[in-house]
Amino acid sequence: MVTIREPIDGELVSLTPLSIEGADDWVRWMEDPDTTRYLYAPGDEPKQPFTLSVALDWGRRMLADPRRMVFGLREVSTGREIGDARLTPIAGRRAKFSIMIGERDARGRGMGTEATRLACRYGFETMGLREIELDVHPGNTPAIRAYLAVGFEHARGTTMRLRRPNGDGPRRG
């Protein structure tokens, strides 16, 4: 299982160990068109409905992938799971970042921005990454604003990049 062992707390949201016990929530989130609007590239929609069986399979694959670091996202004030995020290493101490805020009422309240900041800090400080990139649909302006607030910059096309601040290696201490 490749996830964190202990929560990483922010003011609004905590990065938590991802658990397949949240699969019922995942199915509910994926049934919400506002959740999935920008999730898939055009022409890359899922080939089957996101059922509980599919959700459990997805969760098990995420947790079993030794290359991918996955996080559950938990709202600090209520303790409820609101989404997930992941860092997938690619060549040259770089990783791809993705995040999904599945709970509709958790969007637009700064939790995605804080979760992105916490996950990227984990990537730089613990995983030793030097750069994190992501792909974002140009129409997803709330996500773009959040990524810019964290420090991501536009690269080519739909790609945004964040470089490790203050040095190149993992921080100690």
Give residue-wise pLDDT tens across range 95-153.
999 999 999 999 999 999 999 999 999 999 999 999 999 999 999 999 999 999 999 99
Would you state the pLDDT for residue 165? Answer: 83
Contacts 24+ apart (CB under 8 A), 62-65: 62/18, 62/86, 63/1, 63/2, 63/3, 63/18, 63/20, 64/1, 64/2, 65/2
Residue with tokens 């959700």: 55
Checking if the pLDDT of 44 tops 70, the result is: no
Give me the domains of the chain, ranges plus CATH numbers.
Answer: 8-163 (3.40.630.30)
As a whole number, mean pLDDT of residues 6-16 equals: 97
5-19, 29-43, 48-62: lowest mean pLDDT where? 29-43
